[in-house]
Amino acid sequence: MDTIAAISTARGVASGVGVLRISGEGAVAAAEQVVRRKGGRLLADAAERTMVRCDLLDSTGAVIDDILAVVFRAPRSYTGEDVVELQCHGAPIVLEEALRALFLAGARQALPGEFTKRAFLNGQLDLTQAEAVVDLIDAETAEEARNAVGQLGGAIARPVGKVYDALMDITSRFYAVVDYPDEDIEPLQQEMMENTLRESEEMLKGLLATAERGRILKKGVCAAIVGRPNVGKSSLLNALLGFDRAIVTDIAGTTRDTVEEKVLCGGVLLRLMDTAGIRETGDAVERIGVERSYQAMEQAELVLAVADSSVPMTAEDYEILQQAAKSKHWILIWSKCDLERKMEIPVLQFDAPQQAPDAVVELSSVTGEGIRNLEQAVAALYPKMDTPQGTVVTNARQTEAIARALDAVAAAREALESGMTADVVLTDGEEALNALGELTGKTVREDLVATIFSRFCVGK
- For 377-397, the DSSP string reads HHHHHSPPP-S-TT-S---HH
Residues 6 or more apart in contact with residue 368 via CB below 8 angstroms: 239
Cα–Cα distances in Å, from 70 out to 86, 173, 187, 227? 7, 48, 54, 58
Cα–Cα distances in Å, from 445 out to 111, 119, 124, 441? 19, 17, 18, 8
CA atoms of 282 and 285, how far apart (whole Å): 9
Average pLDDT over residues 128-145: 90
Residues 6 or more apart in contact with residue 75 via CB below 8 angstroms: 81, 122, 124
Average pLDDT over residues 320-337: 89
Q: How many residues does the chain have?
A: 460
Beta strands in 290-400 (DSSP E): 302-308, 329-335, 359-362
CA-based torsion, 335, 340, 343, 344: positive or negative: positive
Average pLDDT, the chain: 85
pLDDT for the residue 108: 96
| Band of pLDDT at residue 252, cut at 50, 70 and 90 | very low
Residues 6 or more apart in contact with residue 206 via CB below 8 angstroms: 159, 391
Average pLDDT over residues 63-81: 96
Percent of the residues in the chain that have a pLDDT greater than 70, as a whole number:
85
CA atoms of 160 and 186, how far apart (whole Å): 26
CA atoms of 157 and 424, how far apart (whole Å): 28
With a cut of 80, say whether residue 423 has pLDDT above it: no
The DSSP symbol for 278 reads P
| Residue 451, burial from CB neighbour count under 10 angstroms (0-12, 13-18, 19+) | exposed
With a cut of 70, say whether residue 3 has pLDDT above it: yes
Q: What are φ and ψ of residue 331, in 5° steps?
A: -120, 130
With a cut of 60, say whether residue 152 has pLDDT above it: yes
Output the 3-class SS for 47-59.
CCCCCEEEEEECC
pLDDT for the residue 13: 66
